Structure 1
Amino acid sequence: METTDLLKKVRHIEIKARGLSRNIFAGEYHSAFKGRGMAFSEVREYQYGDDMRDIDWNVTARYNRPYIKIFEEERELTVMLLIDVSESLGFGSQSLLKRDIVAEIAATLAFSAIQNNDKIGVIFFTDKVEKFIPPKKGRKHILYIIREILGFKPEGNGTDLNVTLRYMTNAIKKRCTAFLISDFIDAGDYKQALRIAARKHDVAAIQVYDKLSTELQPVGLMKVRDPETGEERWINTSSKKVRDRYRSWWSDLQVSMNNAFRQSGVDSVSVSTESDYVKLLLQLFKQRK
């Protein structure tokens, strides 16, 4: 992508994502992702109806009358975007590729985070961790992230969620909110890595897929290429057996993915390239209330 084209696209996504995060997602994001917990704020004299468990016994002993601790919610979050940049994201039968939808979703989440004064970082991955951008705040940092999302050129082609999840678990020491954004076309077993990551961090999963990739259309003999392995082969899409086998592969993939989410306690949403991802993201946020 030429530099001028990239800058235009960055600006377009910035305007769209900023508007969505400010006008639609601000309140939903804030209530869905509440921060690390409660932090001590101050003490005040005990009042009738206060919880006895909040009494500060040291201050109470000093002043010879009961005082309680006041706590406030720690709002600041660290948000990590785990973004799949494998070759299979380059597919799309609609006006946008899966990669384009991933970019818009990631940018919208990034602006939502920054408007809530949260830090945001990124892990780009294929069948390995391609790049780690440490969490920071600020518009300049967000624009850098969007430029990388749109222009990043990975070394790998495949997808390995297991490696990525293990990397995040080890690299991010404090509890964070992590959005795993992928098409989840991964033949490996990532259930255990997801379970461990979700135990340490607050993980939400966003699957991006294209409707055409869920079912073969009967259009006769077709040459197909696996974008992640480069393998090419001819298939007869007129054959019901071939179409059934493909449909079964997709169904098994979805069942395995959803089982992994459920067993790990991970909230998730699936977004197709032709659907309204705004509505689906709001749905994800509301799951968490």
Structure 2
Amino acid sequence: MIRGFAPAESTRSEAVLSRLQLLVTRKLDGLLQGDYAGLLPGPGTEAGESREYTPGDDVRRMDWPVTARTTVAHVRRTVADRELETWIALDLSASLDFGTARWLKRDLAVAAVAAVGHLTVRGGNRLGAVVGTGGSTERIPARPGRKEAQGLLRRVAALPSAPGRSSLGELVDLLNKPPRRRGVAVIISDFMSDPSTWVRPVKKLAVRHDVLAIEIVDPRELELPDVGVLAVVDPESGAVHEVQTSDPKLRRRYAEGAAAQRAAIASALRGAGAAHLRLRTDSDWLLDMVRFVAAQRHARTRGTTR
């Protein structure tokens, strides 16, 4: 597992990060074919030819002059950019210091940063990040190259969590300032805060950039096991609650409430124009990411955008 580390643990943590990067490289390169395995294979910004509109096309790319001339709706094709700038908004607040399966949520969030870096730093692309740890926010400038991406990953992994909750909306807003040319924005969080606090900044971000929201989930956040009285601690406030998990009605209400919460998160992200990838601490997250990238490519070839 990857955790924030003290100096005495730096050697072990470096070894863990090296193994993680090797895993990401081998599996992603082995399963994703092509010279340019982008995370979000966006259409780019350089103008290309027009074609007839098909359901699912991005209406922001309507070619109005051609549409008016032919009386048939057309969209403008664009040439894919080979040099992009990708920014990550990473939520490392205390709620991610939790896990009951193969990973802690924090570990999986850092692993997602490693995968994003691997998929986006080719061809001179630049990678930067803003990280919220509950107590503070750190900005890591965007720089090109795999070595710089590895340095970013080490800095992120070393950041300790602090009591309190990061404002996800404020964190996402940092990606809007200063304005940048069109690129890729990746938001990594458990999205446990009220969607009304972050959906507007995400929607604003999606106007200019291709946005990917990576949601980190632990299975115990979806359903409770039958283990008798369970002491539950809120990692952000320190509050302790005892829950009688032997009550089947309580477990059912918990599962229903959790399902409704996740559905609300997915709906808010979809409405904000973000692509949505859910990674679980009890699953093969790399395979889930490969499937997501493959689905995005397939959607692009069919003319859809999400």
Superposition TM-score tier, normalisation by shorter sequence = 0.7 to 0.9
Counterpart check, 1:96 vs 2:89? no
Counterpart check, 1:205 vs 2:202? no
Cα shift readout 1:226-258 (whole Å, capped 9, x = no counterpart): 112211121211223432332233122212111
1:247-266 correspondence to structure 2 within 5 Å: 247-266=255-274
| Gapped regions of structure 1 (runs ≥ 5) | 41-52, 54-70
Change (3 A) 1:20 1:82: farther
Change (3 A) 1:72 1:15: same
Q: Distance in 1 between matches of 2:216 and 2:43?
A: 26
Cα pair 1:82 1:181 within 8 Å, conserved: yes
Q: Distance in 2 between matches of 1:243 and 1:171?
A: 46
Change (3 A) 1:116 1:280: farther
Deviation of the 1:135 alpha carbon: 0.8
Letter in 1 for 2:278: S
Cα pair 1:37 1:73 within 8 Å, conserved: yes
Other structure's SS at 1:74 match: coil
Change (3 A) 1:31 1:160: closer
Other structure's SS at 1:3 match: helix
Q: Distance in 2 between matches of 1:154 and 1:176?
A: 29
1:1-289 correspondence to structure 2 within 5 Å: 1=5, 2-25=9-32, 27=34, 29-30=37-38, 32-34=40-42, 36-38=44-46, 73-127=80-134, 130-187=137-194, 189=196, 190-288=198-296, 289=300
Q: TM-score, normalised by structure 1?
A: 0.81
Q: Distance in 2 between matches of 1:260 and 1:283?
A: 22
Cα shift readout 1:128-176 (whole Å, capped 9, x = no counterpart): 7621111101233112112122211144532422111112112352222
Deviation of the 1:7 alpha carbon: 1.5
Deviation of the 1:224 alpha carbon: 0.9
Cα pair 2:133 2:159 within 8 Å, conserved: no
Other structure's SS at 1:270 match: strand
Letter in 2 for 1:133: I
Q: Distance in 2 between matches of 1:273 and 1:73?
A: 33
Deviation of the 1:22 alpha carbon: 3.4
Letter in 1 for 2:41: F
Q: Distance in 2 between matches of 1:118 and 1:173?
A: 14
Cα pair 2:185 2:209 within 8 Å, conserved: yes
Cα shift readout 1:77-97 (whole Å, capped 9, x = no counterpart): 101122121112122212321
Cα pair 2:92 2:134 within 8 Å, conserved: no
Q: TM-score, normalised by structure 2?
A: 0.76
Deviation of the 1:9 alpha carbon: 1.5
Residue-pair matches, total:
260
Other structure's SS at 1:30 match: coil
| Gapped regions of structure 2 (runs ≥ 5) | 49-64, 66-77, 301-306
| Aligned-residue RMSD, C-alpha | 2.5
Deviation of the 1:201 alpha carbon: 1.4
Other structure's SS at 1:103 match: helix
Q: Distance in 2 between matches of 1:216 and 1:270?
A: 20
Other structure's SS at 1:230 match: coil
Change (3 A) 1:269 1:225: same
| 1:58 alignment counterpart | none
Change (3 A) 1:218 1:159: farther
Deviation of the 1:204 alpha carbon: 0.8
Change (3 A) 1:262 1:39: closer
Other structure's SS at 1:227 match: coil
Letter in 1 for 2:144: K
